[in-house]
Amino acid sequence: MPTRRGDVRCLIYTSTAVSKPMPVYVNLHGGGFVIAYPEQDDGWCRFLAHACRATVVSVDYAVAPRKPFPIAFEQIQDVVRWAASPSRPWDGSRLALGGQSAGGNLAAAVCRAGSPAPVRLQVLQYPPLDLTIDPGNKPHPKGAIPPFLARAFDAAYAPSASLRADPGVSPGRKVEARDLLDVPQAVVVLCGRDSLEPEGREYAGVLAAAGRLVDLIEVPESGHGYDHSRTVTPERVDEIYARVASHVKAGLS
């Protein structure tokens, strides 16, 4: 699909069990803002399309360092607008937006900036929300992203300190409830052994204070990325997926 920042490949997942126009979920993969591989979310997208009887649009957005902020951010804004169009073969008036890791950051940032189309629910799974914090100053339990790697990811996406303070890069930085009164309802998933857990928990608290938090799902036994972690069984992943999907289905009903 075309965007103001060039064409973007989107992978489309759809349920064959429904003939009428389905709701749509725009998915943003993780990868530290530098890995372009939406196929990593193949299992999640298939699960969601089936469980929610929905169309899932998984976005292969541009990645750093060749394409730093705000390129991916603006591409996703345009994808949301495109997905919400009444000319699509799904019901764009029933739209959710979510992402994992860096994708969760992008989803939160687009929602906080004011989505270009109505979003009924945002799903933020283990997102980095404040890139102004030096990764070396974050907790580092077993399973967390190594500080040197997180620092490299952050610098590639937002090369300057002033840029990392932009709300489009760090949607959780110095945020208050009054800043989130108009954002979509949110589901937040956090991993207990993740250096990003504290900032995710803080953001969930502010969402709750603003009356925008639907559910906070905690996976205490997992490092960053419970669904890509060998410490979490497939059955446990399915359990979490089902809990998230139930909220998506309700939000888009």
Domains plus CATH for the chain?
Answer: 9-252 (3.40.50.1820)
CA gap 140, 216 in Å, rounded: 22
Ramachandran assignment for 196, one of left (phi > 0), alpha (psi -120 to 50 degrees), beta (any other): alpha
pLDDT at residue 230, rounded to an integer: 84
Neighbours of 127 (CB within 10 A): 29
Q: Which is catalytic among the residues 101, 115, 170, 222? A: 101
H-helix segments, 71-229: 71-83, 102-113, 147-157, 161-164, 197-209
Q: Which is catalytic among the residues 41, 130, 166, 194? A: 194
Distance of CA 192 to the CA centre of its chain: 18
Q: Which is catalytic among the residues 130, 222, 224, 227? A: 224
pLDDT tens track, the chain, 253 positions:
999 999 999 999 998 877 689 999 999 999 999 999 999 999 999 999 999 999 999 999 999 999 999 999 999 999 999 999 999 999 999 999 999 999 999 999 999 999 899 999 999 999 999 999 999 888 888 878 899 999 999 999 999 999 999 999 999 999 999 999 999 999 999 999 999 999 999 999 999 999 999 999 999 999 999 999 888 999 999 999 999 999 999 999 9
Whether the pTM exceeds 0.75: the reply is: yes
Is 101 a catalytic site residue? yes
Is 194 a catalytic site residue? yes
